[in-house]
Structure 1
Amino acid sequence: MSSNDFSDRVRGPRIELTTALTKDDDVLVIGLIAAEDADTQAPSLLIGEDLLDDAAADAVSASIAALGGTGRSGEILSFPAPTSLPVRLIQTVGLGQDSDDHDADAIRQAAGESIRKLDGVGRVVSALAQAGVGPAAEGYFLGGYRFEEFRSAKSASKKQAPSEVRLLAAKSKENRAELDHALIVADAVALARDFVNTPPSHLFPAEFAERTRVLASQAGLRVEILDDVELAKAGYGGIVGVGKGSSRPPRLVRLIHDAKGSERTVALVGKGITFDTGGISIKPAAGMDHMTSDMGGAAAVVATAIAAAKLDVNVTVIATVPMAENMPSGTAQRPGDVLTQYGGTTVEVLNTDAEGRLILADAIVRACEDDPDYLIDTATLTGAQMVALGNRTPGVLGTDEFRDRVASVSQSVGENGWPMPMPSELRGDLDSRVADLANVTNHRWGGMLSAAIFLKEFVGEGIGWAHVDVAGPAFNTSGPWGYTTKGGTGVPVRTLIAVLEDVVENG
């Protein structure tokens, strides 16, 4: 797949607003609200006024009762539509209790569950937008995401997700704006998923950089790319050191969204290890294929910068994205080697599998030269993140105030980042006997925290900083759930976009 093919890919269903059913529609989706006492009370329908007459509403309710529907979260029912409706099928999606109080992510989850159960259906009309146009659009777009570029005809899905979803909502200026915003955000998440899902045979540093250049240029971003020769000349010792073992040399990509008149600058940094064997400190074979996701942080940052340009957010955004492949070979760096990071700090590399922090350190120092107000780096950085928080909860570390702000925003959009500490007593464990720092401690305790403490050494004074560890959340190794498909998830794109908008709103 060429760079241009990648940029032209359709990443989700077409989503539009509508105010009525038509004979071309196949399925009507209705939200089902659980009663307070599900044992004695029937669930109620979340649907627009005048869509169903009394007879149709009674028929739908009777079918729900016959199927034992309760409206509990995630419950999906399907049954033939009443003959008075132009559609052939009704699907109900459980929303749980108190729909008026449902947060936006409950609607996203319901929409994602809805579309994944509708393989082979041509056109869907959904009343879930009654509880929020934006969340419904994001849920349908992301729940309908597919990645089948590397399947031949004999193994491709025989059924396809719906190609079109029409949301039942007024075609007001506010709803149109909400839909447009949601589709840009959802497309950015899907783009990050595409990057992560593309196998390392086809997405190595030079190709990642080129695809980024094409997409970012199309969006109107300024693009700068340093190749391996330029990186070595400029002193990017971390990126060069990690990339030494691969025949496919590293890159550093810089993307600039220059908001004219904005007084704020946000720097974004993302770890772009296109494949991670662990280097000389090689990983076990089991599960190593999941390391196609080790550029999930870079994917999220690239997608966010592109979305910032499309949304024209009124804050300057500068993304600094290091890209390398961590391989064992006769030229690879060794445990015990000392490298000099960009900016002059020396690091003893005790474990070559702790490589992400080395390329991030170079990129963070470069990002700080732009004098940003805030800096967010994100990375699939430590297995310790999964030990501490599981596979769905990002860890957020950094300067206290900005860390808590990023975590709060992340929770508000359903990505659920959780603030974590950086205990001062762990800093001494990163002392090296021969260099300024060691890249790992000599124990296994608090690995996520120690990694952030290492990165802190490279963050400039007075910059609000947050580090988002998405080692588990960026890649779903289990079955799909809600609007999250298997493989790349796109986390934390929605957090990053929401933080940029929060900075515009609140400084």
Structure 2
Amino acid sequence: MAQLITVKSAKENIECYEKAESVVLFLCRECADHIHMLSLPEEFYDAVAWQIKTQGYGFTDTGNITSVLLKTKAGFTRILFAGIGAGKACTPNHLRVAAGNAARELKKNKIREAVAAAPLLTNPKRGHYLKALAEGLLLGSYAFDKYKNKKVNGGAAALEINNTENAGVSGITPDSGENTSVTVFSAIENAGAIISEAEVVCNAICRARDLANEPGNVIYPETLAEEALQVAEEYNLGAEVLGVKEMQALGMGAILAVGAGSVREPRMITLKYANGGDKPFVAFVGKGITFDSGGISIKPSDGMGEMKDDMTGAAAVLGAMQAIAALKLPVNILGVMACAENMPSGSAQRPGDIIRAASGKTIEVDNTDAEGRLVLADAVWYACRKGAAQVVDIATLTGAVIIALGEHTSGIVSNTDGLAEEIKKAGHRVGEGWWQLPVVEEAEEMLRSSCADIKNSAGRPAGTITGGVFIGQFVDPGIPWAHLDIGGTSTAKKAEGHLPEGCTAFGTATLIEYARTL
């Protein structure tokens, strides 16, 4: 499952360009006019000039890939012009998008050896651009095809990196297929360390993608717990898995009610990373509904198969914990994953039931398809019991967030504007878009029940806000909290840039980047 990327921080070598099977040139509108900043063979400059003369500058539009077969002294070389926009649009994330598209084009053409260059990487201070390029190549080459007897494009891509500064660093081991080796030229002195760090992050994101892409008969609460324990063992994390008896003893009636309709028993998983000395613990809490039928309030059959990804929040937390530990960040993080399967049966909870959460609050179950907030109610409460001084939960919670923000931006509901802003900034740096929604005054009133302390659904109006506000009711007073709704971004209908078709593991990179700020 891997692309092999080799990074050289030495000066370019014209001979390397000439001998390469393929050359990827990352160009913005302005870079196209300054292509001579690169030490390219003369034929390459002519190819760029020809593109401008015959096609204009459209080939530099963000994400555009233009393939040209060029005759050189050594034979034929396939050049890929990868567009990264113009002016202020030439950002690291645009480079990440272009690199993702370029990675798929390399695989499509069965390229084994390629070199990549960009005029903007001749600036030694642009390490963040190099990181984005590496992430784009690694993440864009991902595909989930482990159950196909015939692999697509030589097999799904994961990651392995060797470089002159840090040889031997390896990522996810390939299942099958041929690797593509990409050598990225840059003037950045610590290029090897930057690429190695990008690999760690991408490995974690790909692990989260794999988990969310797995079908519900493979990943369910017990096997997700096993995966978490494996990560704990690999990265020396503290680990705890609560089963039904332990949750009953703690009064976790909310998550137990959600899991009551399934033969797959729920699990509450906690991983602990303590490398921050006296710093307070921050909890990342993930929704882990390994399959969501809707329960008695059953979903329509069309598209129900996609509900295997309703545990993407938990997968994102697990991926983030892996990367944070691998990077040895000086922080204290709790990763809490509330895992259950929401199924209809004679033992399932019913609309109209009243259940008691671990906090002691009683909940009227208005809709059994509003189950994610129920498992998170017990999970955020438990995170506070484990010593969290700040709580960030992440969940594929609502379809309403798609109506509000579309399929490329995720929502934030928070009791602390400063926390929401820090998460937004972290997301921006890693190419994930977030928008804070207001906590409207009437949200709590909308959730008021006539027969219990609170009800689990206020209907369609302000659905993302009321879903978040519900969860916030179970966080201890005075603790900063943010709810991240990835209901519109967790899955992509088609591959685009560094995002694959299927699970994107959106939010994993944001959690990792936010942990850096701590």
Using the size of structure 2 for normalisation, the TM-score is 0.88
Contact 2:43 2:72 (8 Å CA) reproduced: no
Deviations 1:13-65 (A, max 9, x none): 12220244277732110022225xxxxxx943657642x14454234433564
Contact 2:35 2:45 (8 Å CA) reproduced: no
Q: 1-side partners of 2:47 and 2:292: how far apart?
A: 56
Amino acid at match of 2:102: S
Deviations 1:117-147 (A, max 9, x none): 2221112211148262100010000000011
Residue matched to 1:32? 27
Deviations 1:75-122 (A, max 9, x none): 2111123414677211101122137x7221011001011111222111
Deviations 1:161-203 (A, max 9, x none): 653222112473x222211221111111111111110011111
Note if 1:453 corresponds to 2:443. no
With over 3 angstroms needed to count, the CA separation of the structure-2 counterparts of 1:265 and 1:292, relative to structure 1, is same
Q: What pairs with 1:310-325 in structure 2 (closer than 5 Å)?
A: 310-325=326-341
Residue matched to 1:38? none
With over 3 angstroms needed to count, the CA separation of the structure-2 counterparts of 1:414 and 1:297, relative to structure 1, is same
Q: 2-side partners of 1:34 and 1:76: how far apart?
A: 14
Q: 2-side partners of 1:240 and 1:184: how far apart?
A: 35
Q: What pairs with 1:328-339 in structure 2 (closer than 5 Å)?
A: 328-339=344-355
Higher mean C-alpha displacement, 73-82 vs 310-319: 73-82
Note if 1:238 corresponds to 2:228. no
Query: Post-superposition shift, 1:480?
Result: 1.2
Residue matched to 2:141? 144
Q: 2-side partners of 1:280 and 1:410: how far apart?
A: 36
Amino acid at match of 1:482: G
Q: 2:184 aligns with which of 167, 170, 176?
A: 167
Residue matched to 1:44? 33
Residue matched to 1:405? 422
Contact 2:18 2:72 (8 Å CA) reproduced: no
Q: What pairs with 1:365-444 in structure 2 (closer than 5 Å)?
A: 365-399=381-415, 400-441=417-458, 443-444=459-460
Residue matched to 1:75? 64
Aligned-pair identity (%): 35
Note if 1:284 corresponds to 2:281. no
Q: 1:186 aligns with which of 192, 199, 202?
A: 202
Residue matched to 1:5? none
What SS does structure 1 have at the residue aligned with 2:63? Answer: coil
Residue matched to 2:496? 481
Contact 2:32 2:48 (8 Å CA) reproduced: no
Amino acid at match of 2:484: V
Contact 1:31 1:47 (8 Å CA) reproduced: no
What SS does structure 2 have at the residue aligned with 1:330? Answer: coil
Question: Structure 2 stretches of 5 or more lacking a match?
Answer: 158-178
Deviations 1:297-318 (A, max 9, x none): 0000010011110011111000
Q: 2-side partners of 1:171 and 1:16: how far apart?
A: 14
With over 3 angstroms needed to count, the CA separation of the structure-2 counterparts of 1:179 and 1:327, relative to structure 1, is same
With over 3 angstroms needed to count, the CA separation of the structure-2 counterparts of 1:31 and 1:80, relative to structure 1, is same
With over 3 angstroms needed to count, the CA separation of the structure-2 counterparts of 1:381 and 1:103, relative to structure 1, is same
What SS does structure 2 have at the residue aligned with 1:434? Answer: coil
Residue matched to 2:116? 126
Q: 1-side partners of 2:464 and 2:184: how far apart?
A: 42
What SS does structure 2 have at the residue aligned with 1:490? Answer: coil
Contact 2:17 2:23 (8 Å CA) reproduced: no
Q: 2-side partners of 1:48 and 1:157: how far apart?
A: 37
Residue matched to 2:479? 463
Q: 2-side partners of 1:110 and 1:190: how far apart?
A: 19
Contact 1:33 1:46 (8 Å CA) reproduced: no
Contact 2:69 2:79 (8 Å CA) reproduced: yes
Q: 2:96 aligns with which of 94, 99, 108?
A: 108
What SS does structure 2 have at the residue aligned with 1:80? Answer: strand
Note if 1:269 corresponds to 2:276. no
Residue matched to 2:173? none
With over 3 angstroms needed to count, the CA separation of the structure-2 counterparts of 1:170 and 1:408, relative to structure 1, is closer
Amino acid at match of 1:491: F
Contact 1:59 1:82 (8 Å CA) reproduced: no
Number of equivalent positions: 480
With over 3 angstroms needed to count, the CA separation of the structure-2 counterparts of 1:422 and 1:171, relative to structure 1, is closer
Contact 1:25 1:86 (8 Å CA) reproduced: no
Residue matched to 2:172? none
Higher mean C-alpha displacement, 52-61 vs 317-326: 52-61
Q: 1-side partners of 2:75 and 2:414: how far apart?
A: 55
Contact 1:397 1:422 (8 Å CA) reproduced: yes
Note if 1:57 corresponds to 2:51. no
Higher mean C-alpha displacement, 227-236 vs 320-329: 227-236
Question: Structure 1 stretches of 5 or more lacking a match?
Answer: 1-9, 36-41
Q: What pairs with 1:253-268 in structure 2 (closer than 5 Å)?
A: 253-268=269-284
With over 3 angstroms needed to count, the CA separation of the structure-2 counterparts of 1:116 and 1:325, relative to structure 1, is same
Contact 2:283 2:388 (8 Å CA) reproduced: yes
Contact 1:358 1:439 (8 Å CA) reproduced: yes
With over 3 angstroms needed to count, the CA separation of the structure-2 counterparts of 1:122 and 1:47, relative to structure 1, is farther
Using the size of structure 1 for normalisation, the TM-score is 0.90
Contact 1:63 1:79 (8 Å CA) reproduced: no
What SS does structure 1 have at the residue aligned with 2:446? Answer: helix
With over 3 angstroms needed to count, the CA separation of the structure-2 counterparts of 1:350 and 1:137, relative to structure 1, is same
Residue matched to 1:39? none
Q: 2-side partners of 1:437 and 1:280: how far apart?
A: 20
